[in-house]
Chain A
Amino acid sequence: MKQLLILSGKGGTGKTTMATAFIKLSSATAYADCDVDAPNLHLLMHQSAKAIESDYFGMPKAEINSQICVQCDLCRENCRFDAINFDDGYHVDPFVCEGCGVCEELCPVGAVSLKPEKAGDLMLYKEDVVFSRAQLKMGSGTSGMLVTEVKKSMKSAAEDAEFAIIDGSPGIGCPVIASLSGVDMVLIVAEPSISGIRDMERIIETARKFQARIAVCTNKFDTNIEIAESIEAFCKKNNLPFVGRVPFDLEAVEAINKGNSIIDSDSTSGFATRVVYKRTMELLSK
């Protein structure tokens, strides 16, 4: 299965809009939303059937049994994450606990145990096409592991699919690193602003660490043509294929608010997106 991952370094650049257009244009039979923190793809990809849901368990959390605890303070002293507090007794803050198990191992009387905790939901739509996504429970860490699960469940449900599109997660941390592993190519959607350039540079640097092939396009390029041009110059200098510019388009915003894709209408942005699509697919098939 060839996998194309769409990334942007930061949200709001039009990554999901681009992913939706790509899924429609390629008639992809497998796709996934790796933004497990704030997933949006399902808002545009209308699913007729209900998802098969399963619980996702991340790291377990420590729990202290105050009946047994002899208040020796060893666990609190040694918890590197400051997850253990003392007031009327010893308590673990589940939002901060990373489940490392140090406290459990140290406790002289066995008052601490690690309990599995649900950290999110996995959702798999499996009709003619396979769509895998997830929602991380509020405040849970380890979203990288959940991203890996999302990709795994897409792959195993769509074994025969030749091609898959993955909507990536924002940032450069663990969920992005997890979404990068094993993909054939990364399309980076950049926004022409001083911060957009910085975000793009950081995400390119991250993607390079994973030896992924990279292509770049700009979205809303006409909101700052000068910076849009310097993005293209940057790509040229660094030998990164530049695959097109999509203009800012209020029509696109309205299309998305109606839950449509920008390629559904005859808009300028829709046309430009088709060009980006065509060039990206040519590169991918090389």
Chain B
Amino acid sequence: MEGTKIKIAVLSGKGGTGKTLVAVNLAAIAKNSVYIDCDVEEPNGHLFFKPEQLKRHDISVKIPVVDEKLCTGCRSCVAFCKFNALAYINHKLMVFDEICHSCGGCSLFCPEKALSEREKVIGVVQNGKSEDVRVISGIMNVGETSGVPIIKEILKYANEYQDITVIDCPPGSACTVMESIKDADYCILVAEPTLFGVHNLNMVHDLVTLFNKPYGVVLNKCVQSENPAETYCTEKNINVLGKILFDNELGTINSNGLIAIRQSDKYFDVFNQLLHKVSEEVQHETVVNP
């Protein structure tokens, strides 16, 4: 894949399916890759990579502050705020930081110019290296409600570095996931062989279809018995990129926060194959839908 920049998003309807396992190992095997952890509420990728030479910077949003000397109590800001983040109580304007969406409207429209904005830190971006992988994580502060500004910020790194970028998406199919897959060239959906697994796969499947993204499925934690997720893929004619068997060895490596391809030749091969498969798919896509 020399010279071509590709962005691969790894997602699953829910946490716990092995999304981070797949994303971390793919980035680790790709060489000169970037791993971006967009699961800013529970970022775990860095626990595996243990990146060094860390650089951190704060991410902040703008919150209004009132100059009480100028405020006349006209309440037009309160009336404007669609999120009810402002209230005028006891001759004082109160700002509820946690529910403010930082739209800037109140300051813009205050007739007395009594409102200005201050920066409020909502999390950090951590940038480091683990062997030859660039590891970027966004970490949202506890008590904050939305990680979207952090996700926007860390996705900027996808264009800055090497050939392959692996984006570890947040769970679910809400706005944060959409933000994470918007610019992806290819999506990998990770699914568990359970009833829940199928239900969740169905949701992310709808999402990638809606966004018109090329995609394939990795079946994780496969056991001997029937695999509802595999049946789903067969029925819907979905490309299965690979199967990872349920395995105590992998479980232990993973729960101890180690990277499977750096620990075991077996998993080196498994993820190497997966990477090749995905690269082929992406090349195929660029030929068919340039």
Q: Which residues of A contact B (CB under 8 A)?
A: 9-13, 16, 37-38, 40, 43, 59, 78, 80-81, 95, 98-102, 105-106, 136, 138-141, 143-144, 170-174, 177, 191-196, 198-199, 202, 205-206, 209, 223-224, 227, 250, 253-254, 256-257, 259
Contacts and interface: CB of A to CB of B under 8 A. Distances in A.
Q: Output the residue of B109, B210, B257 with the most chain A CB within 10 A.
A: B257
Contacts of A194: 44, 47-48, 255-257
B147 interface: yes
Given A38-B172, A81-B103, 14 more contacts: A13-B16, A37-B173, A80-B104, A98-B103, A99-B82, A100-B82, A138-B210, A173-B146, A177-B98, A193-B254, A198-B42, A198-B44, A224-B251, A250-B223
Interface of B: 13-17, 20, 41-42, 44, 47-48, 80, 82-83, 98, 101-105, 108-109, 140, 142-148, 170-175, 177-178, 192-196, 199-200, 203, 206-207, 210, 223, 225-226, 228, 248, 251-252, 254-257
B225 to A, nearest CB: 7
13 contacts: A11-B15, A11-B171, A12-B16, A40-B199, A43-B195, A80-B103, A80-B104, A105-B108, A138-B210, A173-B146, A193-B257, A224-B256, A257-B228
A38 B42 CA distance: 17
Contact of A101 (B13, B14, B105, B177): B105
Contacts of A177: 98, 143, 145
B104 A43 contact: no
Contacts of B194: 253, 256-257
A10 B178 contact: no
Given A173-B144, A192-B255, A195-B47, A11 B199 contact: no
A256 B207 CA distance: 25
Q: Which 5 residue pairs are nearest across A and B when measured between Cβ atoms?
A: A12-B16, A194-B257, A11-B15, A193-B255, A100-B103
Nearest to B177: A139
Label chain B's interface by main secondary structure.
loop
Nearest to B103: A100
B192 to A, nearest CB: 8
Contacts of A205: 142-143
A95 B171 contact: no
A144 B103 contact: no
Given A16-B196, A80-B102, A37 B20 contact: no
A173 B82 contact: no
B80 A172 contact: no
A48 to B, nearest CB: 19
A191 B226 CA distance: 25
B4 to A, nearest CB: 27
Given A78-B108, A177-B145, A227-B255, A172 B175 contact: no
B211 to A, nearest CB: 9
B156 to A, nearest CB: 13
